[in-house]
Amino acid sequence: MTPTGPPVPETRQRILEATYTCVARWGLAKTTVEDAAREAKVSRATVYRAFPGGRDELITAVVSWATVEFFARLYEEVHDAVSLEEVMERGIAFAHRSILEHDVLQRVMQTEPETLLPALTVESNRIRQGIAEFLVPYLRQRGVAEGVDTGEAADFLARMVLSYISAPGRWDLDDPVQVAQLVRAELLAGVVAAAPSALPP
Amino acid sequence: MAVKGAALRVVDAVTVGGRPAASPRPPSADGAPDRSSPHRLAVVDATLACLARHGTLKTTVDDIAREAGVSRATVYRAFPGGREEILGAVVDTEMARLFSALGVTLGESEDLGQALVGGIVEASSRLRGHAALAYLVEHEPDVVLGHLAFDESNRLLGTASRFVAPFLARWMSPPEAGRVAEWATRIVLSYAISPSETTDLCDPAHTARLVETFVLPGIRALHSAVPARAIDITPFADGRRSSLDTASINAASLDAASTTPHPSTAPHPSTAPHPSTAPHPSTPHPTTERKSGHDH
């Protein structure tokens, strides 16, 4: 039952999936290395070999893993979009819905925000960079307004996407008309070329 | 009866005022804080000093009393709920200080750009220069982050934009002002939580560039879009007016503030396109050209 070699990526992946199942069942605080090992059908030693930091490392890693999973689904959802406007609209609408429907995230947010949030904040920096890099080709294709730096615009848009999907505020992001207005009128007006009222140089 | 009794004691405390330690009553007998205590602000400021050194976990009422130079009994008379109540008062006080500084900056601004730049710089600088906040972000991030994520973030966005919106309503309709206030709050929070290597919102030049590049064009575009589809984002529960009316009333004032000719100065059907039919003059239709099906 106990593998002897170094942990292969599949083992790590299996342990993370198992840990996520445990978190969904019991929450972050009550999930132990034993639980994860039992769920993954590996030994404790195997878990420790993959995650030498033990439980703390496992919890951080599972938040990171779940975040990456979330944004991988988001990528799947929007990667065939043909324009900057479309990718932003579809991305915001889908991410908003997915966060609301994410049972595990919602429950852990309610019961253990103190464990989840610091890990999630570290992740959000990585995610922001990921979103920005993803948007750059769309910005190049669309063309940015005069005087706008593409990298700077991508970072700004990524920040705004994260802000709106995690807290919609006054916006109803289930309404496609509102999402279109948010993206086209508000977020992109200063960013893209030929905006309706770009500032003079 | 109990409520009346408590109210009377507060009245009594006001008249007695200035001799807090002389009161013969047990400090927390009825749980009602003595809001008139002259020591409340001193206790709050002492707590801020303690938090900047040790955070919430290691700060005791004794520490706070020592820092404030008063007795424990005095602290408890001002805050019968003890540590928890003091920490709540610290948050309230710091919010009030932030908002009052923000109010001065916004009130003195002479145009929309100045208000946005001044407000964002003021808020960002106060957040960054806050010693207690800096300690907590570093050592007890969960305490701070709890106020900045998901539902709590929505609450904070609401509180901040309700305060800021009336200042911005000098240059736009109340619904637009609510929206722009919320947008500005998002910008402050985003850069405060994850600082940028290239854009420092405490620097007026950086903020001016961000506002002029990304925010003002968005406000102008929003302004031309609002009359077409009135999305109710009025920040006030009462006294709502139709956003159509207010938008047309305020159209002239926003255009006066803008430096470029505006494509639509009034919500006329021919000049203000409906977002669902022509949301962006130079981009394809979002719903007919897109092969989506996932949100229809």
pLDDT at A111: 84
8 Å CB contact of A121 and B141: yes
Apex B167 CA angle, B163 and B172, nearest 5: 120
Å between A85 CA and nearest CA of chain B: 8
Å between B151 CA and nearest CA of chain A: 7
pLDDT tens figures, B17-71: 333 333 434 444 455 666 777 889 999 999 999 999 999 999 999 999 999 999 9
Pair of tokens at residue A37: 């090992």
Contact A198, B250 (CB under 8 A): no
- Evaluate whether A1-52 and A64-187 have a shared fold: no
Work out whether the CA dihedral B6, B12, B18, B19 comes out positive or negative.
Answer: negative
8 Å CB contact of B154 and A148: no
Å between A12 CA and nearest CA of chain B: 28
What gap in Å lies between CA A190 and CA B216, rounded to an integer?
7
Pick the CATH number of A64-187 from 1.10.540, 1.20.120, 1.10.357, 3.30.70: 1.10.357
Which of B280, B288, B290, B291 would you mutate first to test chain A, the one with the most A CBs within 10 A? Answer: B280
What gap in Å lies between CA B22 and CA B74, rounded to an integer?
10
Using a CB cutoff of 8 Å and minimum separation of 24, what contacts does A109-112 make? A109/B149, A109/B150, A109/B151, A111/A27, A112/A27, A112/A28, A112/A29
Please check whether residue B288 touches A, CB under 8 A: no
pLDDT band at A119 (very low <50, low <70, confident <90, very high): confident
Pair of tokens at residue B263: 């494509």
8 Å CB contact of A196 and B220: yes
Burial B77-115 (b: 16+ CB within 10 A, else e): bbbbebbebbbebbeebbeeebbeebbebbeebeebbbb
Residue indicated by tokens 């140089």: A201
Residues 188-217 of B with CB under 8 A from A: 189-191, 193-194, 196, 198-199, 210, 212-217
Would you kindly state where each structural domain of chain A is located, as residue ranges? 1-52, 64-187
Pair of tokens at residue B126: 């106060």
pLDDT at A144: 93
Which pTM was predicted?
A: 0.74
Residues 42-71 of B with CB under 8 A from A: none
Please check whether residue B157 touches A, CB under 8 A: yes
Closest Cβ–Cβ partner in B151, B224, B259 for A199: B259
> In the predicted model, what is the mean pLDDT of residues A24-32?
90
Smallest Cα–Cα separation from A51: which of A19, A18, A22, A12? A12
Which ranges of chain B have pLDDT less than 50?
1-29, 227-296
Pair of tokens at residue A56: 């703390």
Please give the DSSP secondary-structure letter assigned to residue B21: G
pLDDT band at A195 (very low <50, low <70, confident <90, very high): very low
Pair of tokens at residue B152: 């709590």
CATH topology of domain A1-52: Arc Repressor Mutant, subunit A (1.10.10)
